[in-house]
Amino acid sequence: MSFISYLINGISLGSVYAIIALGYTMVYGIAKMLNFAHGDVIMVGAFAVFTIVSTMGLPVWLGILISILVCTVLGVVIERVAYKPLRNAASPLAVLITAIGVSYLLQNVALLVFGANAKSFTSVVPFEGLKLAGGQLIISGETIVTILACIIIMIVLTLFVNKTKAGQAMLAVSEDKGAAQLMGINVNGTIALTFAIGSALAAIAGVLLCSAYPSINPYTGSMPGIKAFVAAVFGGIGSIPGAMIGGILLGIIEIFGKAYISSQMADAIVFAVLIVVLLVKPSGILGKNIQEKV
């Protein structure tokens, strides 16, 4: 039963990584930039729910909706203020450095507002979960909700990209921004929409993560954000199904690493997986090798 329990916990943690990785992979696939402030948007979303539910005493559903709204607006503002002016910069390093700067800015604002001490986060899941095999196997409510949320988000996002005009515009912009603009597609609006969706997903991931691990501080999103980036690379950055597969596999690897190898070495194992993937298949599990003409 321990193996099955670890597997379920790994899928649950991996589902959170997958939801975060979807934000990375969409932004990279369409805007061709890495938003390293994405992890800190998770923290902002979690603090928004914490403030509304725990501090103000308002309903959980309202806290989640406001959190999604706050992160969506934040994502669009970050794109317009920090990334859009550098979209045509001579060096891609300019965007990368700016993303790191935005990350530190969000962390330090959170430090000023909420302080450095960890806060106790109240789970937003209203039920306890399931007890199977005579109580030997317990599946928490947070685990069930997280896995279901990941599956639903994956299906809805895939349908949105493949079946709607906005989704088709995203695919066009990801292929060729110049050609898409000539065809009448609003490239700036499409990229802003991509950041909005990715940031809304970050809010959901932050709520689910802090519900499963009920503690929050200004650095809550840093490590999950980095691991989700590893998951996106693992699955094939730019691929929506790849983000889900990479996230779940990474979650399973991390939990099994903690259980059977060493809890202190779990993070090292995760990044070792990234190194192996980059050496063996740099494009990731579902990624495609892109040949550039010189």
The SS3 call for residue 130 is strand
Please return the burial class of 179, using the count of CB atoms within 10 Å of its CB with bins 0-12, 13-18 and 19+.
exposed
pLDDT at position 251, please? 92
Question: In a 3-state reduction of DSSP, which class is residue 137?
Answer: strand
- What's the pLDDT band for 293 if we cut at 50, 70, 90? very low
Average pLDDT over residues 181-193: 89
User: What sign does the dihedral 160-142-212-277 (CA atoms) show?
Assistant: negative
Strand pairing partners for 120? 215
Give the tokens for residue 259: 């259980």
Q: Is 215 helix (H, G, I), strand (E, B) or coil?
A: strand
Sequence-separated (6 or more) residues with CB below 8 Å from residue 13: 212, 251, 254, 255
Q: Give the β-pairing of 137-140 and 215-216.
A: unpaired
**What average pLDDT does the structure give for the chain?**
87
Per-residue pLDDT tens over the stretch 237-281: 878 888 899 999 999 999 998 888 888 888 888 888 888 888 888
pLDDT higher than threshold 90 for residue 18: yes
CA-only gyration radius of the chain, Å: 19
Q: What is the pLDDT of residue 294?
A: 43
Percent of the chain having pLDDT more than 90? 37
Question: For residue 233, how far is the Cα from the chain centroid?
Answer: 13
pLDDT at position 119 over 60: yes
Q: Is residue 135 scored above 50 in pLDDT?
A: yes
On whether the CB atoms of residues 128 and 138 are closer than 8 A, the answer is no
The domain spans of the chain are: 13-221
